[in-house]
Amino acid sequence: MNSPLDMRVDSVGRPVDDNSQTSDVDDEMGPFPTIIVDISDGKVLDDTDASKRLCSLEGGVQVFDRPRLETLDEVAKLLEISIEKYAVPTLSDESMTVFVLVCSTEKAVPFARFDVNVDNGQAYATLHCDDGFRQSVKRVAVHPYDDVLTLIHRIMLCARSEPTRGG
């Protein structure tokens, strides 16, 4: 069952397989688009500004014998897998910006942006989808040993579990 957020973040595409599994991605992206997650220190307005980039993930998650994952669920799973595999920095500023792009061999399409602020051991975020939808995410705990992937994964899980509210 799709959440209201899944219904709103459907502007980038992935084709339907022969077995009629649907996704929130359309045919123009090719059979297996790649997810790119760029994490920058501080407030960054444009995903092309690499001057504050802390790390970048590129990959995808394919599931078998089940419908394809919605794009933000795929991002959450990619983060979960990457947390244990890669050493990344901890947050050095009181804010960070996360850009999510979906790309094919020919182009990268902006999908969503998370603006994250940290205050007194709590992170709060706003999800901005490329179609104009916004969702405020409730505060999540920030531990001194959290790296940026762990923190973004925690925020992502929180965003996916709470009812959406425009903003």
Q: Average model confidence (pLDDT) for the chain?
A: 80
For the cut 80, the answer to whether the pLDDT of residue 127 exceeds it is yes
Rounded Cα distance between 152 and 41, Å, is: 12
First to last CA, the chain: 24
pLDDT value of position 93:
79
Rounded Cα distance between 102 and 83, Å, is: 20
pLDDT value of position 65:
87
* H/E element, 85: helix 71-85
pLDDT value of position 77:
93
Task: Tokens for 117, please give them.
Answer: 């602020």
Domain boundaries, given as residue ranges, for the chain? 4-161
Output the pTM of the full model: 0.77
Q: For 6-40, what is each residue's pLDDT tens digit?
A: 443 343 444 334 443 444 444 444 567 899 999 99
Q: For 61-84, what is each residue's pLDDT tens digit?
A: 888 888 888 888 999 999 999 998
DSSP, collapsed to helix, strand or coil, labels residue 157 as helix
pLDDT value of position 31:
62
Q: Which of 161, 134, 159, 155 is nearest to 8 (CA)?
A: 134
Q: For 136-156, what is each residue's pLDDT tens digit?
A: 998 999 998 899 999 999 999
DSSP summary character for residue 90: B
pLDDT value of position 157:
92
What percent of the chain has pLDDT above 70?
Answer: 78
